[in-house]
Structure 1
C-alpha cells in the first residue's frame, strides 16, 4: 500500500514537529491532503486514515511519530463521559459516526468513559458495532473486555469486509465501528492500567481539570503510574488496529462489488465513458385536478430530485456499471452542496463549484394526465462549461471509450470537445437536450466536420437541426417518411441518428460506408415483463435513459441493433420511475434486451 497521510479532523504538520502551529488565510482550504494520498485515491488504491488526535494528544513526542508506520487507523473512539447524564458531555465522534458512512477500526472505547451509555448512544445513532474476534465482548481500549457486549462480531477480515460491503450496499448514512481487542501479549497489563486509570481520574477531579484537557492529562498520568507500560500497550494496540484496518481496506478494494462505479463487466474491460453536461435540481409539480390558470392555487404533488440531461445519463450509466466520469459545474449555494455530495456518492465526477453562480434548477408542472403543462429552468451555470473550463480535462476526454456532450454547455465547449474527439478518434454522442438549443449545439459540434458519431434528437429537436443545416422547413408533418427525409440529408455528416419518438419508438438512421439504412424500432409488441404494466411515473429521464443504454451497449461490444434495444428497455424503466432515473436499472437489462422489441427496415 502507498505510504500516505490524510489530515483528518485536526490539522497536523506532515513532518510532525511538536507544537508546530499552522496559520491559515481566510481563503485557504480547510483540508490538506498529501500528494501521495491524492495519487492513491486517483488510482483507486486502498487508503486508511489515521485520526490525528493520536498524534496531537494521545501520545508524547517522539513516540507519536511511530504509531502508524505507513498506514493509519485510530486508537479508541470518544464516547459518553462519566456522569454524562448530568453534564451532557458526549464526544462529537458518536454523532459524526451516526451521520457519516465511514468505517472506524478502533480498540473500542477508553475505560475512562461510560461504556454502557456509549453503546446505547451508538445504537440510537444507528451505528453498526461489531467486535473483531470469536466473541461479542466489547473491548475497553487497554483491556479485552469491558463487561459489555457488541450486537455482533466478525471472526475474520473476510467477515469484516462482507459486513462493511453490505452496509455500503444498503446505502446506510451511518457508520460502522469495528472494535478490535488489544493483542494478547499486552492484555496482561490491563488490570494494572485500569487501576492507574481510576487513580488518574481521581487526580483529575482533585485538580479541577475539565473539557478537552481531561484525556491528555489522564493518559499522561497513566503512563507515569504504569512506568511506561500503558504507552507500550498503546503503541501495540494502534499497530494492531492499523494492520487489521489495512487488511479490511485492501479487501474492500479487491472485492468485485466493492464500488459499483469502479466495476467493469466480467467479460469486457471497457474504457470509461465521459459525460459532459448539466446537472439540475428538479422540482416537479404533478397536478391532481384539471389546471386552472389565472391565479388559483392548483392542488398538486410536489417532489424534488436530482436531474439534468448529463447527470441523468451519468447515473444511468453508473447503474449499468459502465464506470462513467462526469464533468459538470454547480453554483456556490445549498443546491450546489447537495449536488456535489450526490455525485460523490454515485460516481467519479469533476464537479466545479463556481462563485457568484446559481446551481441549475428545472421546474416543471404536469397536468393530471402526466403531460408537461409548462416548464422553466435556470441553467446559466452550464454555459460556464466552455473551452477554457474543459481544457483542464483534455486527457480525460481523449482517453475515453466514448464521450457524451449535451447541448446545455457553452458552444465553445461543445466545439472544443468535438475537436478533441475527432483528433483522437473517440466516438462522440451529441445529446441535443431541447429544441431551443439543439441547433446551436449541433452547429458548434459540426464546425469540425464529421465529428459527431451519434446524435439522439427527439422530433422537435430534429426539426430545428434540419432547418439550421438546410434552411428548409422540416417535413415532419409527413410522418415517419418526413423523418427519414431529414435523416437522409443529415447522414452526410453524422454516422448514426437515433430519433426518439415517444410512444412510437425509435428511428435509427445509419450511414454505413455510403449506404444509408433506416430501421424503425416499435413499441407495439412489448416483452412479457411485469414491470411494463406499471403506470408512467416521470417522462423527463426516458430519452436520457435511451442515450445511456445505447452508449452502454456499444461500450460493451454490442452491435448498433442490440444497443438500440438496450436503450429502449432502459428508457421504459425510467419512464416508470418517480425520479428521472429508475433504481431498477441494472446490468441485467442488457441481457434481456438484445433480442426484444420489434424492428422494421424502411427505405427512402
Structure 2
C-alpha cells in the first residue's frame, strides 16, 4: 500500500503525489491505473456499512466491482479502515466492513473524517465523503445508488444532505439512480441548480428517476441518450476548466424491478411516521427509513436496490449491448478524429471510462 496525496494536476489529468497525507492509502492497482491514465471508477462504501444487511452487502459490493472490471476499468471502493482512508479495498477489507457487528463503522461525510481518523475507527463513506477523496486522488468517475438531498419537511428541520454541497464543491462525474425516494426531489433539484451541478437523465426522457421508481414527476434540465454524449459533456466540462461543480447523471432502475410510484410513496409515508415516533433524525434517518421500507415492502425494496447496482453486470453479459457499445465508440471516435490527435492520454482515459461504464447503465 502506498500513502499518497495529490500535489498538483498535470495537463493529462494525471496527478503528482506527495506523502504529506499519512491517512490516505491508495492501493497499488489504483495507483498504477491513475499513473497510466487507465479508466478508474470510484465506489462508495455506505452501501456496505449502512445500506444493506450482511451478507448481501458484501455480495453486492463484490459484484459491482466485478462489473467495473468486466469493462476493463479499475474499481476503487473508498472507505475508512482502522483510521486510514483506503482507496481500493481488497476482498477481506470489504468482508470485515460488511460485518458491522465487528467493524462498528461510522457513517462518514466530510465533517466526520477528523473524528473517525483520529480515533482510528472504521467508516463507510457517503456520497459526500467519497467525493472528497475522489477530488483529492484525481478520480473523475463515481458510481453510486441514490444520492442524498433535501429531506421532506426541511423548511422546519433544515435537514439537507451534505452530498449536495459536496457535488457543488468537487469536480467529478457521478452516475446514480437519482435522488432517494424518501427525499423531496423537487427541492433537491433546485438546490443542485444553486450549487452549479449539471443534472441530466441518462435515457430517452428527461423525467428524473426516483431510486425505487423509474420516473418522478420532476424533470432534469437535460436528457442524454447515449454514453458517448455523456462523455462529450464530461470532456466539455473539463476543457472549460470549471474547477467546481460536479456532473450528475440519473439512471432509471430496470423496468422489471421498479416500484409503482403510488405504492412506494405509501410505504415511505408509513416509514416516516415510524421515524417520527422513534425520534430518529440527522444522519440516522436515512438508514432507519431504508430498513423500514425494506421490511414494509417484504424485502422488495432491498432487491430493487441490489439489482440496480448489478445492472452494469447484467448488461455486460448481453452481447447485443456490447455490439451497440462498440458501434457507439466507433461513431464517437470518427466524429472526433481530428480533435483526438491532440488529446492527452488522461482525456482519452476519461472518455473511455464514461463511454464504457455509462453505456451499461442505459435502460
Q: Same fold (TM over 0.5)?
A: yes
CA contact (8 A) 1:107 1:241 kept: no
For 1:232, the equivalent position in structure 2 comes to 303
1:89 counterpart (153, 159, 162): 159
For 1:193, the equivalent position in structure 2 comes to 264
For 2:100, the equivalent position in structure 1 comes to none
CA contact (8 A) 1:106 1:241 kept: no
For 1:109, the equivalent position in structure 2 comes to 179
Q: Closer, same or farther in 2 for the Cα pair 1:142/1:35, shift >3 Å?
A: same
Q: Closer, same or farther in 2 for the Cα pair 1:191/1:239, shift >3 Å?
A: farther
Q: Deviations over 1:207-253 (max 9, x none)?
A: 100111111111111111111111110011122368899x9xx999x
Distance in structure 1 (CA, Å) of the matches to 2:311 and 2:284: 27
Alignment partner of 1:30 is 2:23: yes
Q: Deviations over 1:356-384 (max 9, x none)?
A: xxxxxxxxxxxxxxxxxxxxxxxxxxxxx
What pairs up with 1:321-332 in 2 under 5 angstroms? none
Distance in structure 2 (CA, Å) of the matches to 1:78 and 1:203: 20
Distance in structure 1 (CA, Å) of the matches to 2:165 and 2:278: 29
Distance in structure 2 (CA, Å) of the matches to 1:63 and 1:52: 13
Structure number with greater CO (CA < 8 Å, separation at least 6) is 2
For 2:48, the equivalent position in structure 1 comes to 55
Q: Offset at 1:188?
A: 4.3
CA contact (8 A) 2:201 2:207 kept: yes
CA contact (8 A) 1:144 1:187 kept: yes
What pairs up with 1:195-234 in 2 under 5 angstroms? 195-234=266-305
Q: Offset at 1:92?
A: 1.0
CA contact (8 A) 2:212 2:259 kept: no
What pairs up with 1:373-384 in 2 under 5 angstroms? none
For 2:130, the equivalent position in structure 1 comes to none
Alignment partner of 1:144 is 2:137: no
RMSD: 3.2
TM-score by length of 1: 0.36
Higher Rg of the two aligned structures: 1
CA contact (8 A) 1:189 1:229 kept: no
Q: Select the structure that is richer in helix.
A: 2
Q: Can you give the 5+ residue segments of structure 2 that lack an aligned partner in the other structure?
A: 1-19, 69-74, 76-142, 317-321, 347-363
Number of positions where the alignment pairs a residue of Structure 1 with one of Structure 2: 237
Q: Closer, same or farther in 2 for the Cα pair 1:76/1:321, shift >3 Å?
A: closer
1:125 counterpart (175, 183, 195): 195
Distance in structure 1 (CA, Å) of the matches to 2:226 and 2:345: 30
For 2:247, the equivalent position in structure 1 comes to 176
For 1:557, the equivalent position in structure 2 comes to none
Distance in structure 2 (CA, Å) of the matches to 1:211 and 1:243: 35
Distance in structure 1 (CA, Å) of the matches to 2:192 and 2:343: 34
For 2:78, the equivalent position in structure 1 comes to none
Distance in structure 2 (CA, Å) of the matches to 1:145 and 1:265: 36
Q: Offset at 1:83?
A: 1.7
Distance in structure 2 (CA, Å) of the matches to 1:265 and 1:81: 44
CA contact (8 A) 1:74 1:241 kept: no
For 1:153, the equivalent position in structure 2 comes to 223
For 1:162, the equivalent position in structure 2 comes to 232
Q: Closer, same or farther in 2 for the Cα pair 1:81/1:323, shift >3 Å?
A: closer
Distance in structure 1 (CA, Å) of the matches to 2:315 and 2:190: 25
Distance in structure 2 (CA, Å) of the matches to 1:189 and 1:229: 12
TM-score by length of 2: 0.59
Secondary structure (helix, strand or coil) at the match of 1:146 reads: coil
Distance in structure 1 (CA, Å) of the matches to 2:48 and 2:170: 23
For 1:375, the equivalent position in structure 2 comes to none
For 2:33, the equivalent position in structure 1 comes to 40
Q: Offset at 1:145?
A: 1.5
Q: Can you give the 5+ residue segments of structure 1 that lack an aligned partner in the other structure?
A: 1-26, 258-262, 267-319, 325-604
